[in-house]
Amino acid sequence: MKINYDNRIFGLDIMRAAAILMVVFSHTLWILLPRTKNLVTEVLSLSGLLGVEIFFVLSGFLIGRIIYNTFVNGDFTIKKVGYFWIRRWFRTLPNYYLILIVNIGLVIYFKASLPENIVSYFFFLQNFSTEMPGFFVESWSLPIEEFAYIIGPLLLYLIMFLRLPLKRKYLFGIITLLIIVCFMVNKVFYNINNEVKDMNYWNVNLKAVTIYRIDAVYYGVLAAWVSILIPKIWKKYRYFLFLLGLFILASLNFVIPSQKIFIENHSFFWDVLYLPINSLVFVMCLPLLSSINSAPKLLLIPITYISIISYSMYLLHYSVVMQLLQYYFPTEGLVGIQLYAYLFVYLMLTFISSYLLYRFFEKPFMDLRDKSFFLKRFKAN
């Protein structure tokens, strides 16, 4: 597989590779450690949460720049909105539907029960307003991204009918902030209307529910807007913002829990502020990382490859690779070097299967994007 490194931003590949490795390693808890609480299990569990939040911010940053340039330059027609959507769907839908069907096939093969709302998975509604079943559980983040792709461009298109006396570059920022505020308000209502529960309840009923989380993508969109609007400031303070972000990240995820600050589970801090602050931390990392264009080959090649296959890894690593491995080769009774060998096999199977999925399925669909009849029609108009 040939890679055009000139067309990539290495710092963003670092973020993407780090995010997927954090998610994958968080699920190795099933292999290495019993379900007990200690420092290692807490760090691994946290890494999975933060890895997905990095994906949200990074996705928002990348689509934000695309949408901004389309919105500001020339007529923002419904055909341009459609062009953006189809390009995104060529990127996300083929892999998702293939692995969804694989998961359904595995459930039928093992004579287990499919969730009653299985049809909702085909429309990204499995966790729209409530927790999703324990089927294809890592797919919870995909509806959040898909609805984020729809909401922003659609609002920007509709707002054009009001003919507001504002430059489009400012209107873009206002709509982005409005989306963030709306979904922050949703979290406030969650905090008001839900009884006191533990963090496991929070994990599936707030963190992984679409109507509370779309703002996570739009912090990245906001970062894209700022990077275009004030590029000199964006670049000037990149080191300061990166270090400040790391400090806040450590305080938020280690100091505050260890000192038992905001100790109650159902607090305004955890329900409303915790996830957005994490998103803003990763936004603070973007000015520095988006300025890193290359690296020594020893780092460049593996990180870029992991970044490229990250979407395939996300879809395969848990519900397919790990579940099959655990079914045919359970870890009960394994100790010491046996467990580490098992972990090595799991990681190798994840990397190999993800590469094959990318190389022979995901990439061909990506190559078809600009060749498709629909995209040619949209682009021509």
pLDDT digit string, tens, across residues 201-254: 899 999 999 999 999 999 999 999 999 999 999 999 999 999 999 999 999 998
Residue 48 maps to a domain: no
37 lies in some domain: no
Sign (positive/negative) of CA torsion 93, 17, 304, 237? positive
Residue 380, pLDDT > 60, answer: no
Distance of alpha carbon 287 from alpha carbon 236, whole angstroms: 9
Look at residue 35 and tell me if it is in a domain: no
Name which of 10-14, 64-68, 293-297 the model is least confident about: 293-297
Q: What are phi and psi of 359, to 5 degrees?
A: -65, -40
* Any domain includes 42: no
Residue-number span of the structural domain to which 100 is assigned: 5-23+72-380
Please state, in angstroms and rounded to a whole number, the distance separating the CA atoms of residues 172 and 178: 10
Among 52, 50, 51, 30, which Cα is nearest to 41's? 30
| Short-list 221, 216, 64, CA closest to 144 | 216
188-192 mean pLDDT: 93
Contacts of 58 (CB under 8 A, 6+ apart): 12, 15, 16, 19, 220, 282
Phi, psi of 326 (to 5 degrees): -70, -35
By the 8 A CB rule, do 174 and 186 touch? no
Residue 211 lies in a domain: yes
- Of 183, 146, 149, the closest CA to residue 64 belongs to 149
Residue 265 DSSP symbol: S
Percentage with pLDDT > 90 across the chain:
73
Give residue 299's identity as a one-letter amino acid code.
L
Question: How large is the average pLDDT for residues 118-122?
Answer: 97
Whether the per-residue pLDDT at 134 is higher than 70: the answer is yes
Checking if the pLDDT of 182 tops 70, the result is yes
For residue 240, being part of any structural domain is answered with yes
pLDDT score for 35: 54
Measured at the alpha carbon of residue 300, what is the angle toward residues 295 and 303, in degrees to the nearest 5? 130
What is the number of structural domains in the chain?
Answer: 1
Residue 266's pLDDT is 66
66 located within any domain = no
Token duo for residue 369 = 């994007």
Q: What number of CA atoms fall less than 13 Å from residue 45's CA on the CB side?
A: 15
236 in a domain, yes or no? yes
pLDDT score for 311: 98
Token pair belonging to 4 = 């055009």
